[in-house]
Amino acid sequence: MSIKERYFIKIVPQRGDVVHRFEVTRKHIFSGSIALAVALLVVLSAAGFQVFRVHAQQAALQSQHEQLQTLDKKASAIRSQLQQVQRQNQQIQQLIGVGAKPRPHSGGVQKTSWTPASGVKSGVVQLARHVDQLAQASNETLRQANDLRRLTMRVLNMRHLAELARARLLAAIPSIDPVEGAQIVGCFCYRSAPDVEFHPGVDLDANYGDPIHATAAGTIASAGWDGGFGMKVDIDHGNGYHTWYAHLSRIDVSAGQYVHKGEFIGLVGDTGFSTGPHLHYQVMLNGTAVDPAPYLNGVPPQVLASLP
């Protein structure tokens, strides 16, 4: 069949006398088929590109959704940590009695969420900015926490030192019975026997050889014979107080020695001007004798009230 073989196409309108007549060859038909195929290929390519574009957009949206979820989890974790540290800071401030300083505006302590109306991409940007603000607030709160911990250690150390100082003060104040369980048989008062004069201490009923203990911490000022007191120990407590222990049968300390409260210093006796075994116990404050009775069972309330 020849490629130049001709074909005729007639187009007859529904109304009208004019008949349209076209002449085409096989070559024209072949060329038209190629053009149609090319057009169809272009259409199919465009459709495929559109499908690829839709899939790419869906993948991008899925990725952005995943970013939103990751950022939201990160924001929640930072927010939780921030609130926990802030609560700890407040508790520490209350415990050590330090006034709370105004916290800087964190800009993101309250929960923030994105909405579909604002767009996923916009939500990612907004939430990322929110996470940065939370991270900055968290870092600032952690810095304050570290400062507060250092302050706490300083306050606790100062309080510990103050407690130690107070404990040393209390340890140096007479507050126990030098002979356990002994009763007062001679008062801090004027008396007529065995002599007529003021008795500047108390006489404690005790058996010969009973142990005697220092009623407060201090340094032995003297230890030896002292006239009518017989064998006597004088302890200087370094705060204006001295305690005297007289009529001993034996002394077990020496001048210059440091003794703790309750430490053994000697034995009860009846040396010197004595009518029988007992302990003469005398408390001196700034060179003046004071009644020892209130000091036998603890530090007197008025003395405690005067301490820092």
For every residue of 226-291, DSSP letters joined together read -GGG-EEEEEE-SSSEEEEEEEEEEE---TT-EE-TT-EEEEEB--SS-SSSEEEEEEEETTEEE-
Query: If you average pLDDT over residues 232-240, what whole number do you get?
Result: 97
Residue 210 counted as domain residue: yes
SS3 123: helix
Q: Quick check: is 299 in a domain?
A: yes
Query: What is the pLDDT, as a whole number, of residue 164?
Result: 84
Q: What pLDDT score does 105 carry?
A: 45
Position 106 confidence tier, pLDDT thresholds 50, 70, 90: very low
**Domain assignment of residue 93, given as a range:** 74-171
Instruction: Examine residue 156 and state whether it is found in any structural domain, yes or no.
Output: yes
Please identify, among 119, 141, 171, the residue that sits at the C-terminal boundary of a domain.
171
Integer Rg of the chain from CA? 52
Contacts of 208 (CB under 8 A, 6+ apart): 249, 267, 268, 269, 270, 277
> Does residue 89 lie within any of the structural domains?
yes
Q: Over range 197-217, report the average pLDDT.
A: 96
Same domain? For 135 and 224 the reply is no
Same domain? For 131 and 151 the reply is yes
pTM value? 0.56
Gap between the Cα atoms of 104 and 99, Å rounded: 15
Of 171, 202, 221, at which residue does a domain stop?
171
Q: Which of 146, 171, 196 is the last residue of a domain?
A: 171
- Looking at the structure, tell me whether residues 223 and 198 fall in a common domain: yes
Residues 42 and 35 sit within 8 Å (Cβ to Cβ): no
**DSSP 3-state of 47:** helix
Report whether pLDDT(48) > 80: no
Which CATH number goes with the domain that contains 228?
2.70.70.10
* 42 phi/psi in degrees, rounded to 5: -60, -45
Could you tell me if 164 and 188 lie in one domain? Answer: no
Region of residue 48 (phi > 0: left; psi between -120 and 50: alpha; otherwise: beta): alpha
Joined together, the tokens standing for residue 13 give: 């309108």
Residues 261 and 209 in one domain: yes
Check residue 43 and give its pLDDT: 66
185: tokens are 């048989």
Total count of residues recorded for the chain: 308
- The CA distances from residue 169 to 173, 204, 221, 304, in Å, are 7, 26, 19, 10
Residue 261: pLDDT band with limits 50, 70, 90? very high
- Tell which wins on pLDDT, 267 or 108: 267
248 shares its domain with 146:
no
The mean of the pLDDT values for the chain is: 80
Residue 212 confidence (pLDDT): 98
